[in-house]
Amino acid sequence: MRRILDNPKEHLLKPDRLIRQTRLFLFSLFMMSTSSQAQDVARRLYDAHETFKEKALTHRRFKHADMVPLLKSLTGPLSVSQVSESLEKRAIYQVKAGTGATKVLLWSQMHGDEATATMAMFDIFNFLRAENDGFDALRQAILSKTTLYFVPMLNPDGAERFQRRTATDIDMNRDALRLQTPEGSLLKNLQQILQPLVGFNLHDQNPRYSVGKTGKQAVVSFLATAYDEDRNVNDVRQRSMQLIVGMNRVLQQFVPGQIARYDDEFEPRAFGDNIQKWGTTLILIESGGFKGDSEKMAIRRLNFVAILTALQAIADVSYKQEDIAGYQAIPENGRALFDVLIRNATIMREGRPVLVDVGINYNEVNDKAAKTFQYKSIIDDIGDLSTFYGLEEIDATGLTLTPAYVYPDTLDSITELAKLDLPALRRDGIVAFKVQKAPKETFPGQAVHVVNEGELPALPLQLEQIPTFLLKKGNQIQYRFVNGFWKDDKSTIGGHQNGVID
């Protein structure tokens, strides 16, 4: 039976409360609409990326000489100027676009071996000068409301060697106070002269970072850098967090659960922390790893989408509606991944069986010109690794890890490998070869482990050893590992494979 109210009006909202709730409802609708529109734009950009992708950049180890002709060909709303030069006299360029009041500074490759965002910048340049493709309204919004200053490849000397540091062997990102590198001095001068509202500090991170303690790779990690030891949040840093919340939401639709947050411990020598301190909202984007994408083309695409949608949010100021609680909800980077994790293998120690997990990581080694690379793998950990994950995992329950077999004869040179029936030898577990003259700076194209003399250093299994061994069930070989890559008894190759000279 319905209750009869003593006062029929008591169930009605008071006018001020009604107004507040109406405003809250309308705000919620606005946020949902804005978020939905951003998601739609992001999806369209993602789908159209191939149209704007700079086809001349096909791998991470491109050089300054490869980039300069691309810069000089830029037209339309883009203007290119030389703003400085590196220690070794390589020109450093700025690309300017837009006429708006809000200034945005974006720089890439301050670490020479972190090239993903440089590739994405050239994709963005192609986007900004295109027309009549359904994105004109977005371009107009960005270019009329902002002025963009891009500095691609801030560390061209490091890029030439594909190394982190500059030609001075100084880490530029620890040079914000002393300013001993010409490249670091340029970056501070640009910030001080332009006084941009927002800065994008674009990096690559270790591809084995995980999302928290999970087995998911951190494909992209963000950071709103701290400007003091206490990690306080002022309006400048809050803006970083708000923009990151929007970028995270956008990218989640493409790599769900694979976005992380970089540790925000204050580093007083770093540019990101200091630029935030100097009054420019600083957003760090770290390109991580994506399985099967060693050249980071998929992550290049995500940079393209994330940066353009962030520029849209800056242009229309929609980032102000974001709740920074969403920033804190992004999981932090973790260290829970190996490239390969072998679980529950048995090794023999002093005549007794020992149960171990084995974590293997692949390390890239540049060729002399730093234009290509080969892998040299190591055993990174041994023991109980049950709290870790592998990008590739092998359950070795019931299998024994033993040294690989060494070919009995010593070869005069590495070229004599071509005379041998390597597949037949591999089937028998013979994957190591003694060679009198084996240049260590080269890598065999075949799946072999070459030693100059003596036996393969695989007994006992050791940390930081090159992982060349067998996994056997009784006398039957199940897996043949060479330099961390393997063939199982069905001849399935585990990833990219090259040999090694030890």
Whether residue 139 sits in one domain with residue 284: yes
Same domain, 322 and 421: no
CATH classification at residue 104: 3.40.630.10
Q: What is the pLDDT of residue 437?
A: 77
Distance CA 34, CA 501 (A): 57
Q: Are residues 483 and 405 in the same domain?
A: yes
Task: Name which of 496, 432, 497 is nearest 458 in CA terms.
Answer: 432
- SS3 label, residue 471: strand
Residue 442 has pLDDT above 90, yes or no: no
**Which pLDDT value is given to residue 2?**
39
CATH code (residue 394): 2.30.40.10
In terms of pLDDT, which residue wins out, 37 or 217?
A: 217
Phi and psi at residue 232, in whole multiples of 5°? -65, 165
16 located within any domain: no
Give the three-class secondary structure for 219.
Answer: coil
Residues 352 and 393 in one domain: yes
More confident residue, 287 or 490: 287
Domain membership of residue 2 (yes or no) is no
Residues 101, 141, single domain; the answer is: yes
Mean pLDDT of 287-308: 98
Lowest mean per-residue pLDDT among 34-43, 96-105, 400-409, 469-478: 34-43
310 and 368 within one domain: no
The whole-number pLDDT of residue 37 equals 84
Q: What is the pLDDT of residues 302-346, one digit of tens each?
A: 999 999 999 999 999 999 999 999 999 999 999 999 999 999 999
Q: What angle do CA 101, 105, 109 make, to 5 degrees?
A: 165
Please say whether the beta carbons of 320 and 242 come within 8 A.
yes
* pLDDT, tens digit, 9 for 90 and up, residues 344-393: 999 999 999 999 999 999 999 999 999 999 999 999 999 999 999 999 99
Q: Please say which residue of 334, 361, 388 terminates a domain.
A: 334
Same domain, 266 and 357: no
Asked whether the predicted pLDDT for residue 444 surpasses 50, the reply is yes
Average pLDDT of the chain, as a whole number = 92
Is residue 4 included in any domain, yes or no? no
393, with CB counted inside 10 A (0-12, 13-18, 19+), is middle
Residue 145's domain comprises 27-334
pLDDT of residue 38: 85
Per-residue pLDDT reduced to its tens digit, 128-156: 999 999 999 999 999 999 999 999 999 99
Q: Given this model, what pLDDT does residue 26 score?
A: 56
DSSP code for 13: P
How would you classify the pairing of strands 337-349 and 281-287? Answer: unpaired
- pLDDT for res 10: 47
Q: What is the pLDDT of residue 239?
A: 99
**Per-residue model confidence as pLDDT tens digits over 454-499:** 555 556 789 999 999 999 999 999 999 999 999 776 644 454 578 9
Q: What is the DSSP string of 102-147?
A: EEEEEEE-SSTT--HHHHHHHHHHHHHT--SSS-HHHHHHHHHHEE
Is 60 exceeded by the pLDDT of residue 13? no
- The count of domains in the chain is 2
Question: Which phi and psi angles does 283 have, rounded to 5°?
Answer: -115, 120
Q: Does some domain include residue 10?
A: no
DSSP 330: S
Inside any domain, residue 178: yes
Q: Specify whether 32 is located in the same domain as 55.
A: yes
Let me know if residue 6 belongs to a domain.
Answer: no
Same domain for 193 and 160, yes or no, is yes
State the pairing for strand pair 146-151/102-108: parallel
CA 315 vs. chain centroid, Å, equals 27
Is 434 contained in some domain?
yes
**Of 269, 267, 260, 310, nearest in space to 288 by CA:** 260
Residue finishing a domain among 311, 334, 357: 334
> What pLDDT is recorded for position 1?
41
Number of H helices, E strands in the chain: 11, 22
Structure tokens at 5: 């109210």
- Please tell me the least confidently modeled range out of 66-75, 129-138, 416-425, 482-491: 482-491
Residue 19, pLDDT above cutoff 80? no
Same domain, yes or no, for 285 and 406? no
Bigger pLDDT: 26 or 487? 487
Domain boundary pick from 310, 334, 358: 334
pLDDT reading at 9 higher than 50: no
Residue 80 has pLDDT above 50, yes or no: yes
Give the pLDDT band (50/70/90) at residue 45: very high
pLDDT reading at 207 higher than 90: yes
pLDDT confidence tier of residue 449, bands split at 50, 70 and 90? very high
Q: Are residues 330 and 366 in the same domain?
A: no
The answer as to whether 1 is a domain residue is no
- Judge if 314 and 346 occupy the same domain: no
- CA dist 191 and 274 (Å) reads 10
> What pLDDT score does 159 carry?
99
Nearest to residue 296, comparing CAs of 401, 205, 183? 205
Instruction: Output 399 or 13, whichever has higher pLDDT.
Output: 399
Q: What is the pLDDT of residue 16?
A: 67
Q: Using alpha carbons, select from 135, 127, 117 the residue that is nearest to residue 57.
A: 117
Phi, psi of 227 (to 5 degrees): -110, 0
